[in-house]
Structure 1
């Protein structure tokens, strides 16, 4: 464990950007998929990518705690069940503090033989704003502990983040989940981008289905 995160500034910038996406009113409805409502909007000039910015919205009806939801989002074993493109990850460093900050090497399946698998050098943290609202944020960084891997394309995450907020309507113990994705997959063919652009944000729905069926991470 390292005392402090050398990428703290990048994480702060990503969190601020996540808050900007949360407040944005220009997302356009795309589809309902996997139990989530999916929205998108074009990328910005300062963050080049052929992938639109995605947003997925779903609701957890069962009475989990905020900490249980956040822990399940971060759990590798569970994610393999609710994110079909997630291949695995290795935590390379953990940092002091109560925000669960880590440095992670994350792997994403390709589509052999057409598309190589992607990998990411990521730092991540949790932000508990209150008992009724929290965030999980991820962003790409460069770190010598995670060099590029032969046979994979090093993709870039501008911001991937979850907003978990106590539902204002309906069951008093339910949570609204919003999943934002702004990623540069680095050369992914446009035909595949069109599929992934809706599929990835819809993980908000598959996460809810997984959580309500299997329960939260043990010990969370």
Structure 2
């Protein structure tokens, strides 16, 4: 059963904006190329906050767009490749591709830490993936004492398969709100789009976390711990679910533990669950 998403229209509009912004380089100002990432910015009349962009590519087809999108979005992987990311907590999975989450961003002393109440929406296909996040107001995530709530106007990824490999675009526009030193703001604007290159380095070094390929059961939650290489997913209802498994992430293979009623079949690069009769919890670990 899919839970109704009260922010569905907002997420849909954000996805349309991400597609428009990433479709070409019209209106983007090239600033520099650093660590294999081409950096751009753009200003719009409706906001004093600049939009920043990073473009990079992966040569070859070792990975699919969906696998790279998994590296870009799962918090456990993000803690490794994004030095400004602190933590996040998914408050509600509306569907396998839609969620409401709280996130905390690192700031240097004496700047107050920033947090966000945001939604995430993914659009996945074999050759092209989009992931978009934007701030919303939701009673499930009230203001937190000691934090300044930032406004994530838009942030997202476009991962596109090409004849020669994969193109990766990262776009962000965030208002950190409150009193922020100008030097810190400039530093953030310069560093954020470099995350595109950091995602590529993570994938080339570690592979990708277990990535849901198909699911007809109700997808409740997922969590990945990079240090332990432990992935956990919670399902409900009935149906089937499958995950892609990276041999680079798990060179010695994996073990699977299942709590609840389901049958499973495990190979070196895929886990398939059938006859799910939820609730079911699946844990993938190193062999």
Q: Is the 8 A contact 1:158 1:184 kept in 2?
A: yes
Post-superposition shift, 1:122?
A: 0.7
Gaps of 5+ in 2: 211-242, 245-287
Select which of 139, 144, 149 maps to 2:144.
149
1:1-220 aligned within 5 A: 3-23=3-23, 24-42=25-43, 44-49=44-49, 52-62=50-60, 63-96=62-95, 98=96, 100-113=97-110, 115-128=111-124, 130-168=125-163, 171=164, 174-187=165-178, 188-218=180-210, 219-220=243-244
SS across alignment from 1:15: helix
Q: Is the 8 A contact 2:71 2:202 kept in 1?
A: no
Post-superposition shift, 1:185?
A: 1.1
Q: Is the 8 A contact 2:66 2:126 kept in 1?
A: no
Q: Is the 8 A contact 2:70 2:209 kept in 1?
A: yes
Aligned mates of 1:33, 1:195 — CA distance in 2: 14
Post-superposition shift, 1:189?
A: 2.1
Gaps of 5+ in 1: none
4+ runs deviating over 3 angstroms: none
Further displaced range: 206-215 or 185-194? 185-194
Q: Give a deviation string over 1:1-43, Cα, whole Å, max 9, x none.
A: 861211001101111111221235111111223431111112x
Question: Greater relative contact order: 1 or 2 (C-alpha under 8 angstroms, separation 6 or more)?
Answer: 1
Post-superposition shift, 1:145?
A: 0.7
Aligned mates of 1:107, 1:82 — CA distance in 2: 15
- Pick the structure with more strand per residue: 2
Q: TM-score, normalised by structure 2?
A: 0.69
Q: Is the 8 A contact 2:121 2:132 kept in 1?
A: yes
- Pick the structure with more helix per residue: 1
Q: Is the 8 A contact 2:29 2:42 kept in 1?
A: yes
Aligned mates of 1:2, 1:147 — CA distance in 2: 24
Aligned mates of 1:8, 1:206 — CA distance in 2: 30
Aligned mates of 2:51, 2:185 — CA distance in 1: 11
Aligned mates of 2:188, 2:36 — CA distance in 1: 16
Aligned mates of 1:152, 1:195 — CA distance in 2: 20
Aligned mates of 1:61, 1:120 — CA distance in 2: 34
